[in-house]
Amino acid sequence: ARQYLPPPRTSCDPARLRLHPMAALGSALSCQLSVRGAWKQATRGSTSTRGANAHARSRAPLLVTAASTERQIDIQEVAAAVDSKLLLPKGLYCESHHQALRRPTRTVMVGNVKLGSEHPIVRQTMTTSDTRDVEATVAEVKKCADAGAEMVRITVQGMVEAKACAEIKRRLMADGYTTPLIADIHFAPKVALAVAECFDKIRINPGNFADGRKKFEDILYETDAEYNAELDEIEEVFTPLVLKCKENGVAMRIGTNHGSLSARTLSRYGDTPNGMVESAFEFARICRKHDYHNFIFSMKASNPLVMVQAYRLLASEMYALGWDYPLHLGVTEAGEGEDGRMKSSIGIGALLLDGLGDTIRVSLTEASHLEMEPCTRLRDLGMKACAEKIGVDEFVEQGRDFKSFGRRVSELPMQREGDAIDVRNILHRDGSVISAVTPAMLASEDAFYRDLGTKLAVGMPLRDIATADSVFLREIPAATDEK
C-alpha cells in the first residue's frame, strides 16, 4: 500500500497502479477533484506574476503533493505513462481485493466502549435538541440509547453548553445510563478543554478548530515557509486539548468535512480527498508527537463518491505509514426517508465491504433515535460480510484488467477489395458487444433500433455508448423490395 499517486520515477510502472473493483465508479470523480485542486495550485502565480505571462502559465505542469510527504509529481506525466486519462489510486487500501476482510486496527477506548477491528462495529447518533435544555437532551439521549445507540454525540457551541454538558452527564449516570457522550466542537478550543472534563470523547474539525474563522477566504501563500508557518499556530492551539485528553483518558475523533476545509488547505489542495487527508494528518502528527494515540479518523462528505474516495485514500496513506487508527464512517446531510437511507448505504456500505469502518452513523434529518434501525442493518450486514469473508476466490485475470480503465478491444474484419459489404462503418470498430438478432426483431424497424441500443432522431438511428458494436444472425432473411 502506497500513495494516491506513484512516487517520482524515471518511468512510471502502470502495473503498480491497483484498483479495487468497487472503486471504479468513484475513481473518476476523485481524479477530477484531484486535477481540479492541482490545476488551481499549478496556475496560481504570485501577485506580481499572476497576469504577466498567461500563455506560459497555461502550460504549467499539474502538480499534486502526496498527503504524507512533501514530494510532487506531474499529473500529465503519470497519465501518459499509464496511457489513461484517469489516475487511479495506487496500492491497497483494504486487506483484500477479493474478499471482505476487516482492516486491522488498534483498540480505542471511548468510556466503556471499545472501538477497533477486534470488536463489533459501534453504532452512534447525534442529538437534535438544544444542548442548553438539559431535560430535553437527557431525555433524547435515553431514547437513543434505548433504541440501540452505543454512543451519542452532542453539539457544544460555547461555555454555556459546556456547563450544561456536565449536568447532562451527571443526570444520565444517576439514572444508570453509561452510554459514552461525544462533544461536537467547532471554532472553540477553550470549549473543548472544558467539556473534556466530563465527556468521553471530543470530536474536532481540522478545518475550523484552530483558526476560529467562520468565513471562506481566498488565501495565497507565496512560499512553503509561509504555508508551514501556520502549523506552529495550529500546534499551539491544539496541544492543550491533546494533553488534557491524554490526562483524562478521553478519546478524540479527528473528523474532516469535505465542505469545511480550511482556507489554508484549500489554497494548496483544493476541495479534494488529498486535502481532506492531509488536513487530518496535520492534527494526528501533533497527537503522535505527544504520544497520544486514543483517537480515530473520519472523512465525511455529503457526496458518497467523494466520501468513499477520501476514506480509501486515508486507508492507503495509513497503510503506507504503518498507522492503525480506527475509522468512523458517515455521509453528512444524507437527508430523510428512503433517499437519506440509500445515500448512506451507498457510502457506508461500500466501505464496510472493503473492511473499513469501526463505528458508523446514518445521518438523517429525522428524530435521532430513528437513525438506529438503518444503522443496525448496515452494521449487521458489514459484520456478516467480514465474518463470512464474502467475495470471490482469488483468480488471475485472463482478459481485461479490472484495476485499470480502457476501451474494449476486438478484431473486426478488414475491408477487402471486392467485398459486397462496406465494413468500415461498423459500429464501434474497437468494441466487442454483440447483439443476437432474430427474424422476429426485424418486423418493426423502430423496435429493432431500440433493441440495438440506438437513439432515434427523426426516424434515423443514432449511435451512442449504449449501442451494440455488432450483430449476429443465425440466418439472413430474404431481402424484399418493401424492407
Phi, psi for 190 (deg, rounded to 5)? -65, -35
- pLDDT band at residue 222, thresholds of 50, 70 and 90? confident
Q: How far is CA 250 from CA 13, 189, 190, 253, in A?
A: 45, 15, 16, 10
Q: What is the pLDDT of residues 432-452, one digit of tens each?
A: 567 788 888 888 888 888 888
The residues facing 329 across adjacent strands are 360
- For the residues of 252-313, what is the DSSP string, one character each? EEEEEEGGG--HHHHHHH-SSHHHHHHHHHHHHHHHHHTT---EEEEEEBSSHHHHHHHHHH
- pLDDT band at residue 128, thresholds of 50, 70 and 90? very high
pLDDT(197) > 90: yes
Element (H, E) at 234: helix 224-248
Q: What is the mean pLDDT of residues 460-474?
A: 78
Q: How far is CA 415 from CA 44, 346, 431, 463, 477, in A?
A: 51, 47, 17, 21, 23
Q: How far is CA 26 from CA 15, 249, 309, 369, in A?
A: 20, 38, 6, 31
Q: What is the pLDDT of residues 240-255, one digit of tens each?
A: 999 999 999 999 999 9
Q: What is the pLDDT of residues 53-76, one digit of tens each?
A: 333 333 333 343 444 344 344 434
Q: What is the mean pLDDT of residues 273-291?
A: 96
- Domains in the chain, please, with CATH? 108-388 (3.20.20.20), 408-483 (no CATH)
- Take residue 18 and report the three cell numbers written for it: 491497483
Which of the 8 DSSP states describes residue 202?
Answer: E
- pLDDT band at residue 421, thresholds of 50, 70 and 90? low
- What's the sign of the alpha-carbon dihedral 290, 293, 298, 299? positive
- pLDDT band at residue 426, thresholds of 50, 70 and 90? low
Q: What is the mean pLDDT of residues 273-292?
A: 96
- The whole-number pLDDT of residue 152 equals 98
Q: What is the pLDDT of residues 305-341, one digit of tens each?
A: 999 999 999 999 999 899 999 999 999 987 888 899 9
Q: What is the mean pLDDT of residues 355-371?
A: 96
| 426 in Cβ contact with 420 (< 8 Å) | no
pTM, 2 dp: 0.69
- The whole-number pLDDT of residue 404 equals 67
pLDDT(27) > 90: no
- What's the sign of the alpha-carbon dihedral 318, 320, 321, 323? positive
Phi, psi for 204 (deg, rounded to 5)? -115, 150
Distance CA 320, CA 88 (A): 16
- pLDDT band at residue 29, thresholds of 50, 70 and 90? very low
pLDDT(427) > 60: no
Q: What is the mean pLDDT of residues 402-422?
A: 67
Residue 30 has, within 13 A of its CA and on its CB side, a CA count of 28
